[in-house]
Amino acid sequence: MQYRTFGRLDWKPSPLGFGTMRLPVIDNDPGKIDELEATRMLRYAIDHGVNYVDTAYSYHHGNSEAFLGRALQDGYRQRVRLATKLPSWLIKASKDFDRYLNEQLERLQTETIDFYLLHNLNEGSWPKMRDLNVFDWAEKTMTDGRIYYLGFSFHDRYEVFQEIVDAYDRWTLCQIQN
What CATH code is carried by the domain that includes residue 170? 3.20.20.100
Residue 3 placed within a domain: no
Residues 152-174 have a mean pLDDT of 96
CA distance 159 to 34: 40
**Average pLDDT of every residue of the chain:** 97
The string of pLDDT tens digits covering residues 31-86 is: 999 999 999 999 999 999 999 999 999 999 999 999 999 999 999 999 999 999 99
Query: Is the CB of residue 77 less than 8 Å from the CB of residue 112?
Result: no
Residue 74 placed within a domain: yes
Residue 108 placed within a domain: yes
Q: Taking every pair of C-alpha atoms in the chain, what is the biggest distance, in angstroms?
A: 45
pLDDT the model gives residue 177: 80
Domain total in the chain? 1
Residue 13 placed within a domain: no
The DSSP bridge partners found for residue 19 are 54
Is the predicted pLDDT of residue 1 greater than 70, yes or no?
yes
Distances (CA, A) of 111 to 29, 30, 129: 30, 27, 24
Question: Which domain covers residue 150, as residue numbers?
Answer: 18-176
CA distance 178 to 176: 6
Residue 37 placed within a domain: yes
The string of pLDDT tens digits covering residues 81-102 is: 999 999 999 999 999 999 999 9
Residue 82 placed within a domain: yes
* The CA-based dihedral angle spanning residues 125, 129, 130, 132, taken in that order and rounded to the nearest 10 degrees: 140
pLDDT the model gives residue 137: 98
pLDDT the model gives residue 166: 98
CA distance 8 to 104: 27
Residue 149 placed within a domain: yes
Residue 6 placed within a domain: no
The string of pLDDT tens digits covering residues 126-153 is: 999 999 999 999 999 999 999 999 999 9
- 3-class secondary-structure state, position 147: strand
pLDDT the model gives residue 178: 63
CA distance 129 to 88: 7
* H helices present in the chain, as ranges: 35-47, 59-62, 64-71, 95-108, 126-131, 134-144, 158-166
